Structure 1
Amino acid sequence: MGSDGEAGAVYDSVLDAVGATPLVRLRRIVPEGSAQVWVKTEWTSPGGSVKDRAALAMVLDAEESGALRPGGTIVEGTSGNTGIGLAMVAAARGYRAVFVVPDRTTAEKQALLRAYGAEVVRTPGLVPQDDPRHVRRLAGRIAAGTPGGWLADQYDNPANPGVHERTTGPEIWAQTGGRVTHLVAGVGTGGTLTGAGRYLRRHGVTVVAADPWTYRYGGGDGSPYHVEAVGHYLHPLTGTDTWPRVYDPAVHDRVERIGDGDSLRTVRSLARSEGLLVGGSSGTAVAAALRVAAEAGPDAVVVAVLPDSGRIYLSTYFDDDWLTRRGFLDAVAGPRVRDTVGPYAPGLLVAPATTTVAALLAALDRAGPGGAVPVVLPRETDAVTWSAPDVIGSVRPADLVGLRPDERVGAHAGPPPATVGHGESTAAAAARLDAAAVGRHDAVLVLVDGRAVTQVRRDRLGGRPA
């Protein structure tokens, strides 16, 4: 707390308030004997996230080079935060702004973009990188087709990591009095990790990348996620997996892979035990920082960069119903779905969309009689659980009658099965399925931490009479 009578800073423009964010020590969720864990509170920047730094730096750089001229239009593909930062800068400096966002972006982020006067263009989030609907592809076309349009291109713009090397890294070093031993940051575009990491590595700091378990940066299969604004999703039909040019893997010393469940439960712990309301990528960073702190010992000083506020995730990460339906949280009262359906099968029989009819029929013969088989995007993986967004349909044995043996089952898939969370109240789950008119013989997927672990017939959950 500041001293009595101490005044806050005074600025000529809201943009002058970008950066210089406080460092806060975590007290209640750090186990005894671990290193100190401090967090860089990037959501205190005026646009609400770490992306304010990159947004302002990219615009100033474009103005200086002449790429962005007075009366121009700022265009970007964004999961939200970079767009919000650019929208703030656009409003303050008199530019029009157009942002392409994945359809999985929270309603709060989209509302913030519009509040700054920006135009929002929604596009499917789970498409191959070379699909014309892909966020970056669509943003590029809009920028090219707009008179005075300038594509910010946070993924390849060197001003993104450059600003973190000039500001974020030095701030952390100064705020800790040079005592920081470990930096932990999510990858995302790679700008924060690469820029701040470059500066701090020159001072002997160990740099740790925090990445969701399935994401490509840490060696995962790239399957869909529930934590926004971090990691690297890979659609199975992408031809060449292109990583952001601003991300330099040589900067970090190692990667800590964090499951979505650990990230989201850490987010809730930060709010309820530390009074810090932050987003999902912050949960990823803190979960990784706690691991690092436990290994580093009491003399180390770990700093985690927390990108944004939880206020833009109130409808998701802080909504008990949203979490429970996806298997991240238990309902307050039971019996719960897992109590009703009993032990889970050791694996979930699925049919990649490229599977032939003959191959699926052979698999069904080996597995014995069953209901609908979930049809999934084909991935090179031995996983026994599947990310729910990867389940794109379902097929029943009867659907295969009369088809050629070499036909692909994906072309004949019906709608994906309904889902329930494993910790959801059985009564609530059954009522929801009844309202959705899920039939008593229909297959229902059971989710644990957002991934399908097994399927059961609807009638095993009770509710609608047999």
Structure 2
Amino acid sequence: MSEEVGEPDNGRSRHDSVVDEIGNTPLVRIDDPALKPGVEIYAKCEFCNPGGSVKDRPARRMILEGLRSGDLCEGKVILDSTSGNTGIAYAMIGAALGYPVKLAMPASVTKERKAILAAYGAEVVLTDPAEGSDGAILEARKIFEEDPSAYFKPDQYNNPANWWAHRDSTAPELWEQSSHRITHLVATMGTSGTVMGTGYGLKQFNQQICIVGAEPADAFHGIEGLKHMESSIVPGIYDEDALDRKMGVDTEDAYDTNVWLAREYGMLVGQSSGAAYWAARELARELDEGVIVTVFCDGGDKYMTTAMWRPVVEAAVESAL
């Protein structure tokens, strides 16, 4: 199904707006000296999307599908749970198309994410940080059930339009950008839409491409936006059988990789991107040849007040005094 679906019924047009600038992000080679001569790693720079993350793609598709079906119409509020990036994408697109947005989100998300949502005018309901994304999911369900007619609930964890977005855009972009050479995809998992949809799409081009899902190694972790599937509410769109392999990533390994990417390659990326590259690099150690593509889901500017960067920033400030 084409992504070219849905128009607002409120006098706004999505054309010639920020909504149609989503996608077609760069693919950058990481020239890592630790790699064997026959192995290459590339990163899809999703932080180049207008809303700053990979979540612009599924948010756009889910909203446009809602417009096409009539489930999203004038007077309704876009409502969903989020760990941050999808919420930012909803808020950006909602502002562009003229629809209010209400979000349930763990109180533990970064100050930067809360500030961005406020800037777009979204209403935010903060949930118990100890319950993580699962608590936000349950809160969004509760709000919706209290007045279903008031809301359009994309339900990102269970909406197939989430992964359709990646099947129909991310996958063909990677196939062309890699000159049809991609042998492995490594993507982190929150809703799982990125790895599911991109994996399905790439398999249509070449069944031999290996699809690897990376997740936190433990239930209690510090990698924002990711799910440890075994201990979480499993997204309805997640199909473990669609993966060729899963890899667990420790929080500290992800954080260390983030700092390394910023210092060595000038790539200030988010926590899940550190996890993604760590997994891609570990996979590369096992190969004699291959073209591994991973996804850098968002930029690091939304994480500067977190435990990942706080010691680095504080040390830099102290040395400047």
Name the structure 2 match of 1:145.
Answer: 146
Deviation at residue 30 of structure 1 after TM alignment: 4.2
TM-score by length of 2: 0.88
Unaligned runs of 5+ in 1: 1-10, 215-221, 236-240, 325-330, 333-466
**One-letter code aligned to 1:189:** T
Contact 1:173/1:180, CA 8 A, preserved across alignment: yes
Contact 1:186/1:193, CA 8 A, preserved across alignment: yes
Contact 1:34/1:293, CA 8 A, preserved across alignment: no
Among 202, 220, 225, the residue aligned to 1:229: 225
Matches within 5 A, 1:301-450: 301-316=291-306, 317-320=308-311
Partner SS, residue 75 of structure 2: coil
Q: How many residues align?
A: 299
Deviation at residue 321 of structure 1 after TM alignment: 6.2
Question: Structure 1 CA distance, aligned partners of 2:229 and 2:247?
Answer: 17
**One-letter code aligned to 1:277:** L
Among 239, 242, 247, the residue aligned to 1:251: 242
* Greater shift in the superposed pair: 65-74 or 77-86: 65-74
Contact 2:186/2:294, CA 8 A, preserved across alignment: yes
Q: Does residue 70 in structure 1 map to residue 70 in structure 2?
A: no
Name the structure 1 match of 2:283.
Answer: 292
1:159/1:231 Cα in 2 relative to 1: closer, same or farther (>3 Å)? same
Deviation at residue 201 of structure 1 after TM alignment: 2.3
**One-letter code aligned to 2:198:** A
Question: Structure 2 CA distance, aligned partners of 1:254 and 1:157?
Answer: 23
Deviation at residue 148 of structure 1 after TM alignment: 2.5
Question: Structure 2 CA distance, aligned partners of 1:127 and 1:12?
Answer: 40
1:302/1:266 Cα in 2 relative to 1: closer, same or farther (>3 Å)? same
Q: Does residue 171 in structure 1 map to residue 178 in structure 2?
A: no
Deviation at residue 31 of structure 1 after TM alignment: 3.1
Question: Structure 1 CA distance, aligned partners of 2:234 and 2:33?
Answer: 34
CA offset digits 1:226-285 (Å, max 9, x no partner): 1101123777xxxxx641011111111111111111100001111010111100100110
Question: Structure 1 CA distance, aligned partners of 2:250 and 2:33?
Answer: 18
Deviation at residue 187 of structure 1 after TM alignment: 1.2
1:191/1:205 Cα in 2 relative to 1: closer, same or farther (>3 Å)? same
- CA radius of gyration, larger in: 1
Structure 1 segments, 4+ long, off by >6 Å, are: 321-324
Deviation at residue 162 of structure 1 after TM alignment: 0.8
Name the structure 1 match of 2:5.
Answer: none
Name the structure 1 match of 2:40.
Answer: 36
Deviation at residue 286 of structure 1 after TM alignment: 0.2
Among 267, 274, 281, the residue aligned to 1:276: 267
Name the structure 2 match of 1:200.
Answer: 202
Percent same amino acid at aligned positions?
39
**One-letter code aligned to 1:261:** E
Question: Structure 2 CA distance, aligned partners of 1:158 and 1:175?
Answer: 25
Contact 2:182/2:209, CA 8 A, preserved across alignment: yes
Name the structure 2 match of 1:17.
Answer: 21
**One-letter code aligned to 1:310:** G
Name the structure 1 match of 2:128.
Answer: 124
1:48/1:129 Cα in 2 relative to 1: closer, same or farther (>3 Å)? closer
Question: Structure 1 CA distance, aligned partners of 2:38 and 2:224?
Answer: 28
**One-letter code aligned to 1:249:** E
Question: Structure 2 CA distance, aligned partners of 1:189 and 1:126?
Answer: 19
Question: Structure 2 CA distance, aligned partners of 1:93 and 1:167?
Answer: 21
Partner SS, residue 31 of structure 1: coil
Deviation at residue 72 of structure 1 after TM alignment: 1.4
Contact 2:106/2:133, CA 8 A, preserved across alignment: no
Unaligned runs of 5+ in 2: 1-14
Contact 1:34/1:295, CA 8 A, preserved across alignment: no
Question: Structure 2 CA distance, aligned partners of 1:323 and 1:296?
Answer: 39
1:29/1:87 Cα in 2 relative to 1: closer, same or farther (>3 Å)? farther
Deviation at residue 213 of structure 1 after TM alignment: 0.8
* Greater shift in the superposed pair: 116-125 or 241-250: 241-250
Question: Structure 1 CA distance, aligned partners of 2:91 and 2:39?
Answer: 38
Name the structure 2 match of 1:262.
Answer: 253
Question: Structure 2 CA distance, aligned partners of 1:225 and 1:323?
Answer: 23
Contact 2:82/2:103, CA 8 A, preserved across alignment: yes
Deviation at residue 323 of structure 1 after TM alignment: 9.9
Contact 1:28/1:273, CA 8 A, preserved across alignment: no
Question: Structure 1 CA distance, aligned partners of 2:84 and 2:276?
Answer: 18
Question: Structure 2 CA distance, aligned partners of 1:90 and 1:48?
Answer: 15
1:66/1:144 Cα in 2 relative to 1: closer, same or farther (>3 Å)? farther
Partner SS, residue 60 of structure 1: helix
CA offset digits 1:410-453 (Å, max 9, x no partner): xxxxxxxxxxxxxxxxxxxxxxxxxxxxxxxxxxxxxxxxxxxx
Name the structure 1 match of 2:161.
Answer: 159
Name the structure 2 match of 1:455.
Answer: none
1:34/1:16 Cα in 2 relative to 1: closer, same or farther (>3 Å)? same
1:175/1:66 Cα in 2 relative to 1: closer, same or farther (>3 Å)? same
Name the structure 1 match of 2:9.
Answer: none
Question: Structure 2 CA distance, aligned partners of 1:314 and 1:35?
Answer: 32
Q: Does residue 48 in structure 1 map to residue 44 in structure 2?
A: no
Question: Structure 1 CA distance, aligned partners of 2:157 and 2:203?
Answer: 22
Name the structure 2 match of 1:98.
Answer: 102
Question: Structure 2 CA distance, aligned partners of 1:242 and 1:268?
Answer: 30
